[in-house]
A and B are shown apart, each in its own frame.
Chain A
Amino acid sequence: MSAMRVTNVSRFEAARTQLQANAQRLQELQTQASSQKAIGRPSDDPAGTAASMATRAAQRASEQYSRNADDGLGWLSAADTALSGVSSLLRTAGDRLIQAANGATMTPASREAIASELETLRDDLLASANASYLGRSVFAGTADGPAFAADGYAFAGAAGASVDRRIGPTTTVRVDVDGAAVFGTPGTPPVDPDDPAVPGDSVFELLDRAAAAVRAGEPLDASIAALGARRDQVLAVHGAVGTAHAQLLRAKDALAADQLALEAQRSGIEDVDFAKVLLDLETQNLVYQSALQVTSRVLQPTLMEFLR
C-alpha cells in the first residue's frame, strides 16, 4: 500500500513489531542452543514427536531385553556348571561299576566300599540336580523349591512348563533345563503288594539299584548300559544348554549394537545440530543488532530537528 500515510506512530509501531519478531526468533534459537533439543513440545514437530516416543520406547525395551538376557545367562551358566558336574559324577560311577563287574576276586569289603561310594555319588548327583540360581532350582522348571526330593526322588517340575527369557519382541529363549530329561523320573510303587513295581528311569534309583547289585555280587551289565545311556542323554542336554548360551550371548551383542543405533536415531530426531544452531544464532544476532541500529537511526529525526 504505497498510498498509506506514514506517521510517527505507525513507524514506531512497525519498528516495534519487527524488533519483537527478531527478538522472538533469537530467543527460539537461544532456547534450542541451550537445551540442545530440537523438539521442545509436540507441536514443534508432531511427526518427530511420534518418532521420538517410539524410539525412546524401543530403547527402554532393548535395555530390558539386555537385562533379561543377563538373567538368562545366569540361569544357563548355573545349569552348565551343574551339568559338567553331573557328567563327571556319572563317569566316575560308570568307572566304579566296571571296576566292580571286572573284579572277580573282589572281597565283600571292597564290594561294600564300591557300593557305598556309589551311594555317595548318588548324593552328590542329587545335590547337582538341585543346583540353583538366585534361589531358584535350575532343573525344576516353574516349580518352587528343589527339583528332586531327597526321599523318593520325585521330580517337582510341571510337565511341559519351561522358564523363558524374552530377548526380543517375538523371541524367547528357554533358560532352564528339564530335570526329568536329565535325571529321569522315579518308578511308581506297586498299586497292589503282589504286582511288580513299575521301574522308573531315575538316575538316583539306577545308582541305588547298582549299589544293591554290587553288594549282592549280581551281574552289573544292565546297570552299566543304563548309566551309559543316561550319560549320553546328559551330554545331549548339555549341548542344548551350550547352544542356548551362545544364542543369548549373540542376542546381547545384537542388543548392545541396537542400543547404539537407537541412541543415534533418538539424538537425530530430538537433538539439534549444534553447528547449525550456532551459525543460525550468530546470523540472527547480527540481524537483530543491525535492526536495532537501523531503527535507532530511522526513529530519531523529525522535522523539528531541522527547524530554527
Chain B
Amino acid sequence: MSTFGGISTAFSGLQAARQGLDVTGQNIANARTPGYTRQRVEQSAIPATADRFSSAPRAGQGVSVDGIARLANATLDAQVRSASARAGYQNALATAWSRIETSLREPGADGLSAALETMWGSWQAVANRPGDAATAAVLIGDTTAVADRLNELRAGVDAQWAQTTASLQVTVASANGDAARVAELNGAIRRAQLQGSDANELRDQRDALVTDLAASLGATARANDDGTVDVLVDGDALVLGADARRLEVSAGAALGSPVAVTWADGGAPAVLGGAAGGMRALVAPDGVLAGVQAGYLDFAAGLADAVNTLHRGGVRPDGAAGGDVFAIAADGTVSAVPTGVADLALRPSAASGALDARVADAIAQLSPAIGGAWSSLVGRLGQQSRAETSRADATAAAQSNAVAAQQSEAGVDIDEETVNLLGYQHAYAAAARVLTTVDEMLDTLINRTGVVGR
C-alpha cells in the first residue's frame, strides 16, 4: 500500500458513513409514507491488492458501497395482495347486503309487515261496515300503502343496481389507469436498473399500485428478472412488462340486463375478483340483487294472487263479479285497483244479502299466511346479510394481519433508525479521525523529518 493509501481508506469510510446517514435520513423522512419500504446501505470491505514483490501482510483498502437494498418480502407482499382481493370482494357484498336489509325497515312500524297488518285490519273493518264509503276509502288507502311499500322496495333494488353498475364502471376505469401507470413504472424501473440504479422509490410506488389492483380487480403479480412485474387477472395479463391492456364494462339499462367485463383488445370476457368481482356478483342477471328483486316480486305476486282470487269470487254491489284488488304491471309496479266502495266485491254470491261481507272477512284471514311468507323472506335476507357481514369481518381481519406482517418487515422503526444514525455518525467521526491521524502522520514525515534536535 502506498503512503497515501490510508487517506483513501479513510475517505471511503467517510463516504460510506455519509451514504448510510443519507439512507437513514430517507427512512426517517418516510416513516409514515404509505407503501414505503425501508432501505439499507449494503457495503463490503475492499480487500488488499495483491503485491507480487512482497509477501508482507497488508490491510484492506477501505469500504465499498455496493447498493441500497429495499427490504421487501415478496411472499408477504403476495399475501397482502391476495388478502386484499378477498377483502375487497367480501366488502362489496357486505356493504350491499347491509343496504338491502336497511331498506326493509323491519322490524318496526315503518316496514311492509306493519302496512300489511293495517290493511288486514281494514278488511275486517270493511267486513263490519260493508257499504260504508268512508271505511272503504280507508281500506283503499291502506291497500295503496301496501302497494307503495312494495314498489319502494323494488325501486330501491333498481337504484342499488344502477349505482353498483356505475361503481363497477368507475372501479374498472380507475383500475385501467392504475394498470397503465404500473406499465409506465415498469419501464422506468427497467431503464433505471440497466443504468445501475435501484429505483427503490419507483418500486414502492408500483407495488402500492399493484396492491390497489389486487383489491379492486383481484389481480395477482409475477416478478420478472429485469425488475418489472407482470399483473395478471385470472391468468390473463393486464400488465406485461411496460405494456398495459384495458378492461371494458358493458351494461344494460336496468336490472336483469347482462353486465359484461371484457378485454378491450379482442373482447374476451374477464373473470374479476376483488371489489369489481363483488360488484359484478351483485349486478349479474343471476346475481344477488336480481335474487332479492325476484324475492320481492314473488312475494308481491303471491299477495296479489291470494287477495285477487278471493275478491274475484265475490259479487259487487251492482251484481257484477269482483275484479282484482292488486294489479301488477309488466315492470313489476304494484297498484291498488278499487277506487271506491262500488268496486269492492264483498258478497259471497249474488243471492246473499246486500250487506253480507264474508269475502272481506275471508281476505282478512290471509294475514297469517302472507305475514309468514314476508317474515320468512325478511329472515332469509337478514340471515344472508349476517353471514356476508361476518365473512367480510373475517377477510378484513385477514387483510389487516397480512398488512401487519408486511409492515413488520418493510416498515420503518424510528428506534432502529436512531441507532443506525448514531452508528453512522460515530463511523463518520472515526473515519474523519483516521484522516486526521494520517494527516498528522504525513505532517510528521514531511515537515519534521531531519529536524530532530534542531
- Per-residue contact bits, chain A 139-170, to B (CB 8 Å; 1 contact, 0 not): 01111100000000000011001011110010
Say if the beta carbon of A202 comes within 8 Å of chain B.
no
Q: Let me know if A46 and B382 touch, CB within 8 A.
A: yes
- Per-residue contact bits, chain B 338-381, to A (CB 8 Å; 1 contact, 0 not): 00000000000001111111000100110110011011101101
For A57, the chain B residues whose CB sits under 8 A away are 113, 116-117, 367-368, 371
Chain A residue nearest to B371 (CB atoms) is: A57
A230 to B111 Cα, complex, angstroms: 56
Given A42-B106, A143-B353, are A5 and B121 also a contact pair (CB < 8 Å)?
no
Chain A interface residue count: which class? 35 or more
For A53, the chain B residues whose CB sits under 8 A away are 106-107, 111, 113, 371, 374-375, 378
Q: Let me know if B352 and A50 touch, CB within 8 A.
A: no
Partner of A8, one of B101, B104, B355, B412: B412
Given A64-B124, A144-B353, A166-B364, are A5 and B376 also a contact pair (CB < 8 Å)?
no
Chain B residue nearest to A64 (CB atoms) is: B121
For A42, the chain B residues whose CB sits under 8 A away are 101, 104, 106-107, 378-379, 381-383, 385
Number of interface residues of B (CB under 8 A): 64
Q: Let me know if B382 and A43 touch, CB within 8 A.
A: yes
Q: Let me know if A302 and B418 touch, CB within 8 A.
A: yes
Mark the stretch among B192-200, B271-279, B399-407 that contacts chain A. Answer: B399-407
Partner of A41, one of B102, B353, B357: B102
Given A4-B408, A14-B404, A71-B128, are A136 and B355 also a contact pair (CB < 8 Å)?
yes
Say if the beta carbon of B419 comes within 8 Å of chain A.
yes
For A46, the chain B residues whose CB sits under 8 A away are 379, 382-383, 386
Task: Give the Cβ gap from B114 to chain A, nearest Cβ, in Å.
Answer: 7
Task: Give the Cβ gap from B286 to chain A, nearest Cβ, in Å.
Answer: 23
For B448, the chain A residues whose CB sits under 8 A away are none
Say if the beta carbon of B129 comes within 8 Å of chain A.
yes
Q: Let me know if A169 and B422 touch, CB within 8 A.
A: no
Q: Let me know if A54 and B385 touch, CB within 8 A.
A: no
A10 to B414 Cα, complex, angstroms: 11
For B389, the chain A residues whose CB sits under 8 A away are 43
A64 to B355 Cα, complex, angstroms: 20
A27 to B382 Cα, complex, angstroms: 21
- Per-residue contact bits, chain A 1-19, to B (CB 8 Å; 1 contact, 0 not): 1001111111001100100
Say if the beta carbon of A112 comes within 8 Å of chain B.
no
Give the residue among A7, A142, A169 with the most B Cβ atoms within 10 A: A7
Q: Let me know if A166 and B124 touch, CB within 8 A.
A: yes
Q: Let me know if A56 and B114 touch, CB within 8 A.
A: yes
Say if the beta carbon of A89 comes within 8 Å of chain B.
no
Q: Let me know if B413 and A52 touch, CB within 8 A.
A: no
Partner of A166, one of B106, B361, B413: B361
Chain A residue nearest to B416 (CB atoms) is: A7
Task: Give the Cβ gap from B187 to chain A, nearest Cβ, in Å.
Answer: 30
Partner of B101, one of A10, A41, A63, A158: A41
Q: Let me know if B368 and A169 touch, CB within 8 A.
A: yes
Partner of A10, one of B32, B97, B371, B408: B408
Q: Let me know if A5 and B409 touch, CB within 8 A.
A: yes
Say if the beta carbon of B151 comes within 8 Å of chain A.
no
A176 to B131 Cα, complex, angstroms: 17
Say if the beta carbon of B411 comes within 8 Å of chain A.
yes
Chain B residue nearest to A54 (CB atoms) is: B375
- Per-residue contact bits, chain B 65-85, to A (CB 8 Å; 1 contact, 0 not): 000000000000000000000
Given A42-B106, A60-B118, A303-B419, are A144 and B413 also a contact pair (CB < 8 Å)?
no
Interface residues of A (CB under 8 A from B): 1, 4-10, 13-14, 17, 39, 41-44, 46-47, 49-50, 52-54, 56-57, 60-61, 63-64, 67-68, 71, 134, 136, 140-144, 157-158, 161, 163-166, 169, 172, 270, 302-304, 307
